[in-house]
Structure 1
Amino acid sequence: MSAQRLSVVVTRRLPEVVETRMKELFDVELSETDQKMSRDELVQAMQRADVLVPTLTDTIDQGMLSRAGDRLKLIANFGAGIDHLDIQTARQRGILVSNTPGVVTEDTADMTMALLLAVTRRIPEGMAVMQSGRWEGWAPTAFMGARVGGRRLGILGMGRIGQAVARRARAFGMQIHYHNRRRLRPEIEDELEATWWESLDQMVSRVDFISVNCPHTPSTFHLMNARRLKLMKPGAVIVNTSRGEVIDENALTRMLRAGEIGGAGLDVFEHGHEINPRLRELPNVVLLPHMGSATVEGRNEMGEKVIINIKTFADGHRPPDLVVPSML
């Protein structure tokens, strides 16, 4: 298949340098408005394209893939997360799926620490007072937060991002604990000075902070459910820069309102941009609009990976970031 004749449809606006390079390489149809495509628009795009470049805002399910026709051969996802795509149905229909792993690791880990510190040191409360003009000067007991050094951080999901969070937290003097499907190799545990917990329940009850860094899969849906949230220490803080579905958001909201959890820093939400309005009212909660990977460098690197995956496929080879069943 010739790269020059390859028809590519991109569902959202991408960084300008990425779009420019795509126009040089492929017969590409770019998004002019950056509006999220409807289900029918996505199906139509799949019917006329050799390659679809979706993002996490594009849910592509079995019913849509069954209407896709025979032309579509590759879904080159812009992003590492793939829970919005029906990978099994795509494979059954002979459609390859690629993603962009690794490029958001450092940026997301940075944001995890930013949220942890913002909640613990009450940064948004301080900003609100300054911006309102109500600050009357320093006081010995004003805006007292907590020290993070010497405290226990429990990392839920110790992949690339979880390990990057651990390295940063170690620099802040935190003690690293983690729960993962598989225990890390001894040399990595030693490097991170990390303690593995086979039982998530036991870890949750003993740590001062929890960082959610696992993907959303059927087995991780509501992994932090009401029962597990109740195991947390009353002053503990939970941070999520992974996927909102891992936490039962309504249960979390109830417990935060009742003072049963110390605070939360959330960059992702269970129902996309539809956030429980009660969360917005709480002073011990920091909410961000899915900014974890939002750096110029990270988004450009994601685009480069998409282009390499498409170009490699166009040249008749396996895309380097092909999603395979063992990853699911």
Structure 2
Amino acid sequence: MALARSFTESGSDEVRDGIVDACSYCATKGKLQPATHFCFDCGVYGRYICGECLQNHNMFVNNHVAEVIAILSSSRRKQLQTDLAVERRKSESIAKKLTEALQELDIHKQKRYDELLETRKKLEEEVNEKQERIFIMEIQLERSHTEQFKLQDRFDRQTHEFEGIKKKLTETSENNITLNKEKKQLEKKHEVHIAEMYDTMADEKRKHNSEMQKLTRDRDDIRDRLKLLTGVKLSEQNADIADLSDPYRAIEVSERFGQLYDDEWIDAFETLTEKKMGLSMKEAIAFLLRLVQYECFWDETHDIKTFTVVDQCCL
């Protein structure tokens, strides 16, 4: 594309001063210098060059051919002007498209900018919200740390108290073990002492019962003798009076049964229900009943004396 335009096409007022075409190089420097040559090899459609710029042009691009404008034919100049007009229209079209593209780009940039602003606003709101939450969480964390310190201190105190209680429990457990041992020893001694007392009491009871039996026999003998003597005296002159010396008359049998219940039976019952035997009341009665049934019975070959077996079994 040519970098210079004809002053006639551009509508410059300098045409009236005799400037028809301006030098492209001078125009870039802000000068209006009439061109004396035209280079067809520069750009797409050539370039106007003045005499001063021609030397620099030939110095850097020595293979270009710059022709003198004055000797160009009118058809050639017209063709150049036509080409320049086409180039100008293309440039204007491209400039218009670029302008529209720039406008669209500006619209897109503004839209994107607005979106970014909105995003930034949302992000700032989120950041502020998160900062507030962080601030609240920091306060809660500080409170949690304070509460944790309090709980730790309380835990340490309770642990110390627990250790003290555990120590006391250990001492109490050891004391209980010692006391249990002493208790077992005392119980063992007590059982031995009770057993000895039971044995002593049993011996004393047997001696007492033996003495009582002896005294009872002596008493019975004396009473029998007295009754015999009295019966003899009464029956000598009266046959209807019973013989008081008869040991098996009804009164004697009743008295013996009463003695059996009052003496032997009660002693045997107490012996069976004591701690040493450990029988209940029903078990003791059933045992004594079986004993009477199997050992004390009546038949033709046995008499009332058989009941003395109960006394021997109970002792």
Does the alignment reach a TM-score above 0.5? Answer: no
Per the normalisation by structure 2, the TM-score is 0.16
Pick the structure with greater CA Rg.
2
Q: Is the helix fraction higher in 1 or 2?
A: 2
Per the normalisation by structure 1, the TM-score is 0.16
Bigger relative contact order (CA 8 A; separation at least 6): 1
